[in-house]
Structure 1
Amino acid sequence: MNLISIEDLSVRFSTRSECIRAVETVNLDIARGDHVALIGESGCGKTVLGMAVMGLLPKNARIGGAVRYREHDILQAAEPDIQRIRGKEIAMIMQNSANTLNPVKTVGSQIAEPLLIHQILPAKAAHAEAVRLLAAMGFDEPERAAERYPHEFSGGMRERILVAIALACQPDIVIADEPTSGLDAGVKSQILVLIKQQMADRTLFLITHDMGTAYFLCTRIAVMYAGEIVEIGPTHDLLSMPMHPYTQGLLASLPSAGLHPIPGMSPSPAYLPEGCRFCARCPAATDRCSTRHPPLNDVSGTRQVRCFCYD
């Protein structure tokens, strides 16, 4: 059973001179208990897609398609209805903890806040739950930590606090947007192990550009390029036998593969090409790639790829 169904989602932003096509006709299903990673370069539309699932897109966004959660279409629901879901049933671990956490509120009050907003616990019990969550996140003195402010913690500890906030209401699905960005290797490893442990019985939608993080946390990967999904498959299959030339290029650019960068630049979301969006950078491109836009085709029971090589 699908917990989230993204259907033909498109998101555009209009400026005075151009239209930014941030997300284009994305289809993706996330089943209960699934751990799905959305990977791709910075600027490809990953975070915009995550914000759409949370119902957090700005008012100037022109949105098409649907994001279905149970009986709700999040894109069509009234804001009061979304507020009853957001944080309680769908939670998000934002990137950049230094900017996400409120600098003038104690850590304990910020963890307890969703419990109070959704009237799950009274104030005293919510504070006790915040302390319990801090202990579960590995804080040695959780009672003392709850009374401190975000600036008193390291980046890794602040990231643990964001995880605690996301888990406070025991949501059905957690969206993690680059949860380890800016952390050194040792702290990153600790955070990934913590997230893996905490997500064991939950649904995870991970947004990242890091293949290693996707491999460690997720059982399925969707690859995004220039606002659209170009490949979907089980993690092991996709990483051991990538099918789309962009996915192949991503893997070849990793240090373990010899640091072979993909030539050229991603197209501007304001001026997307008529044909395949990867055509100008693709070593396998043919004449039809520049004039025809490839669909996302099923190539097996578990693999989908947007490439004419697999017609």
Structure 2
Amino acid sequence: MNIPDSLENANRNNPEAKGMALIQIAGLKVVFSTRSEKIRAVDTVDLTINEGDTLGLIGESGCGKTVMGMAMMGLLPTNADISGIIRYAGKDLLTAPESMMQKMRGREIAMISQNSANTLNPVMKVGDQIAEPLLIHHLYSADEAKKEVIRLLGALGFEDPVQAAGRYPHEFSGGMRERVLIALALICNPRVIIADEPTSGLDAEVKIEILHLIKEKVTGNRTLFLITHDLGTASFLCTRLVVMYAGEIVETGPTKEVLSRPFHPYTKGLLASLPSAGLNTIPGTSPSPSSLPAGCRFSERCIAAMERCRKEHPPMKEVGDNRQVRCFLYD
């Protein structure tokens, strides 16, 4: 498939909003080279994210979700071989010079990382960390930036935002550090926010607080790209779901439809593994990204697999309005 064909496929992922695409991903491949092998982390992904979309990318750990987010931000390591197109507002991010990406990060596209302990600078006050993007992008003076940080911390639920701005990350709980990460993402008022497992490691009560905070402060007039393995989180925040398995997309559609009537056997397995469904885990393990099978990548774990599934690689198919699935069961 060439790149123009991939862009056409990406646009079909949300046909009801044609002409409103903000991010177009077409034929995206990310391969990590090591001394002994090549790891195909993302393999020929086509996806369109529209202005104002709240889109959830779900799948098991290691399926390529975070790699996609890092590719969009231009933050992959030097051993990553990237090909295809990631187009934001008409600009191809994969061919953009680093100077342009530096101007866009935080200002146009921001990220809520999944690990606050690793993301935040332990020897820098959180107020200074949140203010830094405003100063880097020359949006505020130092005094104005300080006022904006205090205003935002107050809006995000800090009872004493002035005191909070003067503290270090280790002085906060995990939930409050997550609020700091949200502040970092929001401070420059970006158009797109990529949230990578924003509630990972939080207890149930704090998780609910953070989800409501993201829904109130992040969604609405922004575009949200949520990366998660948690179907509950995706269901709460997103209107559209994209299911990823072994480096490729296997199902897309409106959230309510995907969760109430899943098409792909992998999606069905994810739903069956929920506590409310009896914790019926999917047997087996995902294929190694360094030795992906020629046929359907889920075939060795699929109870509905046919001989054809083990030999042929299924393409994405239209299976109704705004629904796509990669499965021979729908031929």
Alignment TM-score, normalising by the size of structure 2: 0.93
Q: Counterpart amino acid of 2:94?
A: L
Residue 210 (structure 1) aligned to one of 230, 253, 258? 230
Is 1:145 aligned to 2:167, yes or no?
no
Is 1:73 aligned to 2:131, yes or no?
no
* CA distance, structure 1, for counterparts of residue 75 and residue 46 of structure 2: 19
Deviation at 1:71, TM superposition (A): 2.2
Q: Counterpart amino acid of 1:111?
A: I
Residue 128 (structure 1) aligned to one of 119, 122, 147? 147
Deviation at 1:154, TM superposition (A): 0.2
Is 1:19 aligned to 2:38, yes or no?
yes
1:219 alignment partner in structure 2? 239
* CA distance, structure 1, for counterparts of residue 246 and residue 301 of structure 2: 12
- Would you identify which runs of 4 or more consecutive aligned residues in structure 1 move more than 6 Å? none
1:88 alignment partner in structure 2? 107
Is 1:267 aligned to 2:287, yes or no?
yes
1:66-118 Cα deviation digits (max 9, x unpaired): 10001211111000011111110000000110110001111110110110000
2:210 alignment partner in structure 1? 191
Task: Name structure 1 gaps, 5 residues minimum.
Answer: none
Aligned length in residues? 311
1:276 alignment partner in structure 2? 296
Deviation at 1:60, TM superposition (A): 1.1
Residue 175 (structure 1) aligned to one of 173, 194, 197? 194
1:258 alignment partner in structure 2? 278
SS of match in other structure, 1:246: helix
1:95-149 Cα deviation digits (max 9, x unpaired): 1101100011111101101100000001000011000110011000001100110
SS of match in other structure, 1:236: helix
* CA distance, structure 2, for counterparts of residue 99 and residue 85 of structure 1: 22
Task: Name structure 2 gaps, 5 residues minimum.
Answer: 1-19
Residue 73 (structure 2) aligned to one of 54, 68, 75? 54
Is 1:298 aligned to 2:318, yes or no?
yes
1:159 alignment partner in structure 2? 178
Deviation at 1:216, TM superposition (A): 0.2
Query: Alpha carbon RMSD of aligned pairs, Å?
Result: 0.6
Deviation at 1:236, TM superposition (A): 0.1
SS of match in other structure, 1:182: coil
* CA distance, structure 1, for counterparts of residue 101 and residue 285 of structure 2: 37
2:23 alignment partner in structure 1? 4
* CA distance, structure 1, for counterparts of residue 33 and residue 221 of structure 2: 40
* CA distance, structure 2, for counterparts of residue 11 and residue 132 of structure 1: 40
2:248 alignment partner in structure 1? 228
Deviation at 1:289, TM superposition (A): 0.4
Q: Counterpart amino acid of 2:56?
A: A
1:243 alignment partner in structure 2? 263
Q: Counterpart amino acid of 1:251?
A: L
Q: Counterpart amino acid of 2:174?
A: G
* CA distance, structure 2, for counterparts of residue 18 and residue 172 of structure 1: 38
2:16 alignment partner in structure 1? none
Deviation at 1:58, TM superposition (A): 1.1
* CA distance, structure 1, for counterparts of residue 221 and residue 95 of structure 2: 29
SS of match in other structure, 2:211: helix
Alignment TM-score, normalising by the size of structure 1: 0.99
Deviation at 1:301, TM superposition (A): 2.2
1:278-307 Cα deviation digits (max 9, x unpaired): 000001100110010001111112000000
2:306 alignment partner in structure 1? 286
Q: Counterpart amino acid of 1:181?
A: S
* CA distance, structure 1, for counterparts of residue 31 and residue 296 of structure 2: 19
SS of match in other structure, 1:91: strand
* CA distance, structure 2, for counterparts of residue 153 and residue 63 of structure 1: 38
* CA distance, structure 2, for counterparts of residue 111 and residue 295 of structure 1: 44
